[in-house]
């Protein structure tokens, strides 16, 4: 019995870790000055008109295993999973049309840059299937969230997504990234998905709790669909700041779409998770308690 007890200790701990890792972290969304937009928030829903670009994929870079390319992304917030206030419902500018709804409008936007490589590639008839991974280069895989009262994000020009107050900067973890894409080699249409995990991993990463109240040790799990052609997500540029001025040229340099790039429609969402040590202990202790109860009930020889 003692041996069985010892063997179940690591099992209980492992189960506790799995349980805790899937726990959602609720937080409060504010404007940086104490005005609350939403409480009990567990995820962001980014606009379906979000744009992504794979640089040079259709020209210089081919979808063959080992090929490397850069991917950029930008979108604005369309909603949250949580309890929203009148300030949020009445003033969130969820349309990336380059202008706010009114003088009290605000927006949250997201931008990202990724250094990717083709992990696998295969052709079946007229369908090309590929999977992608991230290159493990410091500073190359970043995602940021901005808050802006100008509410000027504009999908078609790629402006206004990175010119507000940066409220979070995170690093995308190459270990937990999975991207797939399938395209018809005849008509060029394609469909894919991306799953990413981003958190505070590098020295410049941070979360501003004046906007994301209650977030500290968190993991942002990003999930999206990729569509080609881009349709209403078509854009001429990425991370272009505001009209007439550059964006954050250090972290997210402005980029003009080139011939040979593939521009995607990206409909994404971000769920916020956090490991909870208390849950690990409670579940582990519960497992051990069951073992102890079984031991007490066991008949004596």
The C-alpha atoms of residue 155 and residue 74 are separated, in whole angstroms, by: 9
Two structure tokens written together for 237: 């540029």
Predicted local confidence at residue 245, as pLDDT: 59
Q: At residue 219, what are phi and psi to the nearest 5 degrees?
A: -125, 125
Q: What is the pTM of this model?
A: 0.83
Angle made by CA atoms 113, 174, 170, in degrees to the nearest 5? 50
The C-alpha atoms of residue 194 and residue 268 are separated, in whole angstroms, by: 9
The C-alpha atoms of residue 286 and residue 277 are separated, in whole angstroms, by: 14
Predicted local confidence at residue 191, as pLDDT: 96
Two structure tokens written together for 202: 């590098």
The C-alpha atoms of residue 193 and residue 266 are separated, in whole angstroms, by: 9
Predicted local confidence at residue 61, as pLDDT: 62
CA atoms within 13 A on the CB side of 7: 4
Q: Would you list the DSSP string of 87-120?
A: HHHHHB----BSS-SSTT-BEEEEEEEEEEEEEE
Predicted local confidence at residue 103, as pLDDT: 80
b/e sequence 112-123, b meaning 16+ C-beta within 10 Å: bbbbbebeebee
Question: Tens place of pLDDT for every residue, the chain, 301 residues?
Answer: 545 434 444 443 433 333 334 478 899 999 999 999 999 999 999 999 999 999 988 765 667 889 999 999 999 999 999 999 999 999 999 999 998 877 889 999 999 999 999 999 999 999 999 999 999 999 999 999 999 999 999 999 999 999 999 999 999 999 999 999 999 988 889 999 999 999 999 999 999 999 999 998 889 999 999 999 999 999 999 999 876 555 566 889 999 999 999 999 999 999 998 755 544 334 343 444 444 444 445 454 4
Helices vs. strands in the chain: H and E counts, helices first: 3, 16
What single-letter DSSP state applies at residue 298?
S
The C-alpha atoms of residue 29 and residue 15 are separated, in whole angstroms, by: 32
- Residue ranges of alpha helices (H) inside the chain are 2-21, 86-91, 277-297
Contacts of 138 (CB under 8 A, 6+ apart): 202
């Amino acid at each position: 019995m003692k041996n069985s007890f010892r063997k179940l200790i690591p099992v209980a701990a492992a189960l506790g870790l799995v349980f805790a890792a899937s726990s959602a972290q609720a937080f409060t969304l504010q404007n940086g000055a104490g005005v609350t937009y939403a409480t009990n928030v567990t995820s962001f829903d980014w606009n379906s008109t979000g744009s992504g670009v794979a640089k040079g994929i259709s020209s210089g870079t081919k979808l063959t295993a080992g090929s490397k390319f850069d991917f950029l992304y930008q979108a604005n917030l369309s909603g949250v999973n949580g309890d929203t206030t009148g300030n949020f419902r009445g003033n969130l500018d969820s349309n990336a049309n380059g202008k706010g709804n009114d003088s009290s409008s605000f927006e949250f936007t997201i931008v990202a840059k990724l250094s990717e490589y083709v992990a696998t590639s295969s052709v079946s008839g007229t369908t090309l299937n590929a999977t992608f991974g991230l290159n493990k280069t410091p500073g190359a895989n970043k995602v940021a969230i901005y808050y802006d009262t100008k509410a000027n994000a504009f999908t078609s020009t790629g402006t206004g997504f990175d010119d507000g107050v940066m409220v979070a900067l995170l690093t995308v973890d190459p270990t937990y990234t999975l991207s797939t894409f399938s395209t018809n080699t005849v008509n060029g249409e394609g469909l894919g998905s991306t799953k990413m995990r981003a958190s505070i991993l590098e020295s410049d990463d941070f979360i501003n709790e004046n906007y994301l109240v209650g977030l500290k040790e968190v993991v942002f799990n990003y999930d999206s669909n990729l569509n080609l052609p881009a349709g209403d997500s078509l854009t001429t540029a990425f991370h272009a700041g505001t009209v007439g001025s550059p964006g954050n040229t250090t972290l997210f340099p402005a980029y003009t779409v080139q011939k040979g790039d593939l521009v995607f429609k990206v409909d994404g969402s971000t769920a916020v998770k956090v490991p909870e040590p208390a849950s690990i202990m409670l579940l582990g202790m519960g497992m051990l308690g069951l073992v102890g109860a079984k031991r007490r009930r066991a008949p004596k020889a």
